[in-house]
Structure 1
Amino acid sequence: MASLFPRATGSILPRGLSGARPRHLNGLLQHTARSVQGVTRPITAASLVHSRCFHESPKHLSTAATSRGRLLPEFGLEGKVVIVSGGGRGVGLTQAEGLLEAGAIVHALDILPEPDSSSEFARVASRAKNELGSSLTYHRVNVRDEKTLNEIVGAIAKETGHIDGLIAAAGIQQETTALEYSAADADKMLGVNVTGVFMTAQAVARQMIERKQKGSLVLIASMSGTVANRGLICPAYNASKAAVIQLARNLAAEWGEHGIRVNTISPGYIVTAMTAGLFEAFPERKTAWPDANMLKRLSYPEEYRGAAVFLLSDASSFMTGADLRIDGGHCAW
Structure 2
Amino acid sequence: MAEGLVEAGGIVHCFDQMDKPDEHFEKSKQKSGGALEYHQVDVTKMDQVDETIAGIASRAQRLDGLIAAAGVTGGGLALEHDLAYLDTLLAVNVKGVFLAARACAHEMNRYKTPGAMCLVASMSGTISNRGFDAPIYNSSKAAVVQLARSLAAEWGRKNEDGTGGIRVNSLSPGYVITPMTLEDFRTGRLNKANMADTTILNRCSMPEEFKAAGLFLLSDASSFMTGSDLMIDGGTTAWR
TM range (shorter): over 0.9
**2:187 matched residue in structure 1:** 281
Over the matched positions of the two proteins, sequence identity in percent amounts to 51
- Match for residue 120 of structure 1 among 10, 19, 24: 24
1:149 and 2:49 equivalent?
A: yes
The correspondence of residues 59-78 of structure 1 with structure 2, limited to 5 A, is none
1:241 maps to a residue whose letter is K
The correspondence of residues 128-207 of structure 1 with structure 2, limited to 5 A, is 128-129=32-33, 135-207=35-107
After superposition, what is the alpha-carbon deviation per residue over 1:4-43, rounded to whole angstroms, capped at 9, x for unaligned?
Answer: xxxxxxxxxxxxxxxxxxxxxxxxxxxxxxxxxxxxxxxx
TM-aligned CA distance change 1:310 to 1:232, over 3 Å:
same
Q: What displacement does 1:284 show?
A: 7.6
* Consecutive unaligned residues in structure 2, runs of 5 or more: 158-163
Q: What displacement does 1:271 show?
A: 1.3
Looking at structure 1, the residues matched to 200 and 228 of structure 2 have their Cα atoms a distance apart, in angstroms, of: 22
Looking at structure 2, the residues matched to 167 and 307 of structure 1 have their Cα atoms a distance apart, in angstroms, of: 11
1:292 and 2:198 equivalent?
A: yes
**1:81 matched residue in structure 2:** none
2:220 maps to a residue whose letter is D
Q: What displacement does 1:283 show?
A: 8.3
Looking at structure 2, the residues matched to 135 and 179 of structure 1 have their Cα atoms a distance apart, in angstroms, of: 47
Q: What displacement does 1:184 show?
A: 2.0
- State TM-score, norm by structure 1: 0.68
Looking at structure 2, the residues matched to 284 and 324 of structure 1 have their Cα atoms a distance apart, in angstroms, of: 25
TM-aligned CA distance change 1:175 to 1:298, over 3 Å:
same
**1:227 matched residue in structure 2:** 127
Is the CA contact (8 Å cut-off) linking 2:199 and 2:236 kept in structure 1? yes
1:97 maps to a residue whose letter is E
After superposition, what is the alpha-carbon deviation per residue over 1:184-220, rounded to whole angstroms, capped at 9, x for unaligned?
Answer: 2211111110011000000001100122211000000
1:309 and 2:215 equivalent?
A: yes
Deviates more, 1:200-209 or 1:134-143: 134-143
Partner SS for 1:179: helix
1:271 and 2:177 equivalent?
A: yes
Is the CA contact (8 Å cut-off) linking 2:181 and 2:190 kept in structure 1? no
TM-aligned CA distance change 1:128 to 1:284, over 3 Å:
closer
After superposition, what is the alpha-carbon deviation per residue over 1:81-115, rounded to whole angstroms, capped at 9, x for unaligned?
Answer: xxxxxxxxxxxxxx111110011001111111111
The correspondence of residues 209-228 of structure 1 with structure 2, limited to 5 A, is 209-228=109-128
Partner SS for 2:133: coil
Q: What displacement does 1:280 show?
A: 3.1
**1:261 matched residue in structure 2:** 167
Partner SS for 1:167: strand
TM-aligned CA distance change 1:201 to 1:284, over 3 Å:
closer
1:236 and 2:142 equivalent?
A: no
After superposition, what is the alpha-carbon deviation per residue over 1:151-192, rounded to whole angstroms, capped at 9, x for unaligned?
Answer: 111011111110100000111111222111133221111111
Looking at structure 1, the residues matched to 119 and 189 of structure 2 have their Cα atoms a distance apart, in angstroms, of: 31
1:123 maps to a residue whose letter is K
Looking at structure 1, the residues matched to 51 and 186 of structure 2 have their Cα atoms a distance apart, in angstroms, of: 42
TM-aligned CA distance change 1:111 to 1:180, over 3 Å:
same
TM-aligned CA distance change 1:284 to 1:209, over 3 Å:
closer
Q: What displacement does 1:223 show?
A: 0.2
**Structure with greater helix percent:** 2
Deviates more, 1:174-183 or 1:145-154: 174-183
Looking at structure 1, the residues matched to 117 and 190 of structure 2 have their Cα atoms a distance apart, in angstroms, of: 37
1:303 maps to a residue whose letter is E
1:299 maps to a residue whose letter is S
Partner SS for 2:146: helix
* Consecutive unaligned residues in structure 1, runs of 5 or more: 1-94
Partner SS for 2:80: coil
Partner SS for 2:78: coil
**2:13 matched residue in structure 1:** 107
Q: What displacement does 1:270 show?
A: 0.8
After superposition, what is the alpha-carbon deviation per residue over 1:254-302, rounded to whole angstroms, capped at 9, x for unaligned?
Answer: 0001110000110000112332232233388222111111111111100
**1:247 matched residue in structure 2:** 147
Looking at structure 2, the residues matched to 304 and 206 of structure 1 have their Cα atoms a distance apart, in angstroms, of: 27
1:310 maps to a residue whose letter is F
